C-alpha cells in the first residue's frame, strides 16, 4: 500500500476520533488541507505519523485544542477584498436602510478584522445604531482577539489603502488609537456586536438575518459541506435577504443555486429569492 493511501486512512481515523471524542466535525473539510495541516502538526510535535496523533488527542484535551487551531483558518485583514465592501455600500446598504432594524451574521469571523470593517461602514452610512451583528467562529482564541479589537500596527498602511478603496469616507484613524505597536479599535464599534462560538459543521441557524457574510471559508470545505452550510445560510435569511461570499466562492452547481439571484456576480453578492421557503 502506498504512503498516500495509508495517510488517507490515518486521516479518516483521526477525523472520526475527533468527532466521536469532542463533537468537532472536520470530516467534510477539504481533504488535502486537513492532511497537510495534520502532517505538519504531527511533525512539529515530534510525532512520526498522523496516526500517532489519535491517542494523544483522545487523552489530552490541551493537545487537541492545539490541533484545532491548525484546522482553523484565521487569514484575514481589515477591508479585505475592498471592492466587495464598496458594492455592499452601493447595492445592499440602501435596501437595509428601509428596515426599522437589521440583523447581520458574520460567519467564520476569525480574529474579527472584517467585522470591524463592516461596523465602520455601517456607522458611516447611518446603519450601525439599528444593527445587530452576530460574529461567530469555532476558534475561541481567535474570538478572544476579535472581542478585544487589538491588532498589530504593522499592516495599517495596507489596511488604510483597502479602506479607501472600499469607499470609506472618514479617516480610518478616527476609529482606533495607537498604543505601542498596536492599534485598538473604539469600543463603540463593539456595542452592537455579539461574538459567539458557532461551528458551521454542527450548529444550527441564526434566524431572520437580513445579511449573511461568510468570506473565504467555503473554499476549505468539500462539496457536501458547502451544500450543508449554504442551506444553513439560506434558512437563516429573511425573504430577500442578502448573502455575501468570498471572491473565490460560488453558489453555482450547489443546492441553493435556484434560491438566490445575483446582485453582483463578480463580488459574490446574492439575494434570496422572495418566496423561497425556510425549512
Same domain for 259 and 180, yes or no, is yes
Same domain for 10 and 89, yes or no, is no
Looking at residue 70, its pLDDT comes to 86
Looking at residue 5, its pLDDT comes to 86
Owning domain of residue 48: 3-71
CA distance 90 to 167: 9
Q: Which tens digit of pLDDT belongs to each residue from 191-222?
A: 999 999 999 999 988 889 999 999 999 999 99
CA distance 163 to 160: 5
Same domain for 91 and 59, yes or no, is no
241 inside domain: yes
* CA R_g for the chain: 20
What's 216's DSSP letter? S
Same domain for 241 and 103, yes or no, is yes
Phi (first) and psi of residue 140, to 5 degrees: -65, -35
Q: Which tens digit of pLDDT belongs to each residue from 60-110?
A: 999 999 998 888 877 789 999 999 999 999 999 999 999 999 999 999 999
Looking at residue 279, its pLDDT comes to 43
Same domain for 262 and 189, yes or no, is yes
Same domain for 29 and 116, yes or no, is no
Proportion of the chain above pLDDT 70, given as a percent: 98
Q: Give the DSSP per-residue string, 183-202.
A: EEE-GGGGTTEEEEE--TTT
Final residue belonging to a domain, choices 71, 101, 127: 71
Q: Which tens digit of pLDDT belongs to each residue from 238-260?
A: 999 999 999 999 999 999 999 99
Looking at residue 274, its pLDDT comes to 76
Q: Tally the C-alpha atoms within 13 A of residue 237's C-alpha that lie toward its C-beta.
A: 29
pTM of the complete model beyond 0.85: yes
Same domain for 50 and 185, yes or no, is no
Same domain for 65 and 114, yes or no, is no
Phi (first) and psi of residue 188, to 5 degrees: -60, -25
Helix (H, G, I), strand (E, B) or coil at 150: strand
Residue 230 has pLDDT above 60, yes or no: yes
Q: Is the dihedral of CA 119, 81, 93, 251 positive or negative?
A: negative
**pLDDT level of residue 3 (50, 70, 90 thresholds):** confident
Domain count, the chain: 2
Same domain for 163 and 116, yes or no, is yes
Looking at residue 278, its pLDDT comes to 52
Amino acid at each position: 500500500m502506498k504512503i498516500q493511501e495509508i495517510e488517507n486512512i490515518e486521516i479518516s481515523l483521526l477525523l472520526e476520533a475527533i468527532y466521536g471524542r469532542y463533537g468537532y466535525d472536520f470530516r467534510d473539510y477539504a481533504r488535502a488541507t486537513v492532511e497537510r495541516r495534520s502532517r505538519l502538526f504531527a511533525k512539529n510535535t515530534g510525532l512520526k505519523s498522523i496516526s500517532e496523533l489519535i491517542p494523544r488527542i483522545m487523552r489530552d484535551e490541551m493537545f487537541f485544542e492545539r490541533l484545532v487551531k491548525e484546522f482553523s483558518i484565521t487569514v484575514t485583514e481589515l477591508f479585505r477584498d475592498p471592492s466587495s465592501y464598496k458594492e455592499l455600500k452601493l447595492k445592499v446598504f440602501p435596501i437595509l436602510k428601509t428596515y426599522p432594524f437589521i440583523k447581520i451574521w458574520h460567519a467564520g469571523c476569525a480574529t474579527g478584522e472584517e467585522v470591524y470593517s463592516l461596523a465602520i461602514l455601517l456607522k458611516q452610512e447611518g446603519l450601525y445604531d439599528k444593527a445587530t451583528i452576530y460574529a461567530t467562529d469555532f476558534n475561541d482564541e481567535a474570538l478572544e482577539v476579535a472581542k478585544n479589537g487589538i491588532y498589530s500596527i504593522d499592516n495599517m498602511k495596507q489596511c488604510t489603502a483597502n479602506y479607501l478603496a472600499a469607499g470609506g469616507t472618514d479617516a480610518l484613524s478616527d476609529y482606533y488609537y495607537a498604543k505601542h505597536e498596536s492599534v485598538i479599535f473604539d469600543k463603540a464599534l463593539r456595542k452592537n456586536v455579539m461574538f459567539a462560538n458557532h461551528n458551521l459543521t454542527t450548529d444550527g441557524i441564526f434566524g431572520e438575518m437580513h445579511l449573511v457574510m461568510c468570506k473565504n471559508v467555503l473554499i476549505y470545505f468539500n462539496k457536501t459541506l458547502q451544500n450543508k452550510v449554504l442551506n444553513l445560510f439560506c434558512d437563516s435569511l429573511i425573504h430577500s435577504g442578502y448573502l455575501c461570499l468570498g471572491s473565490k466562492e460560488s453558489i453555482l452547481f450547489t443546492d441553493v443555486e435556484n434560491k438566490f439571484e445575483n446582485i453582483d456576480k463578480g463580488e459574490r453578492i446574492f439575494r434570496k429569492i422572495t418566496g423561497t421557503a425556510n425549512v
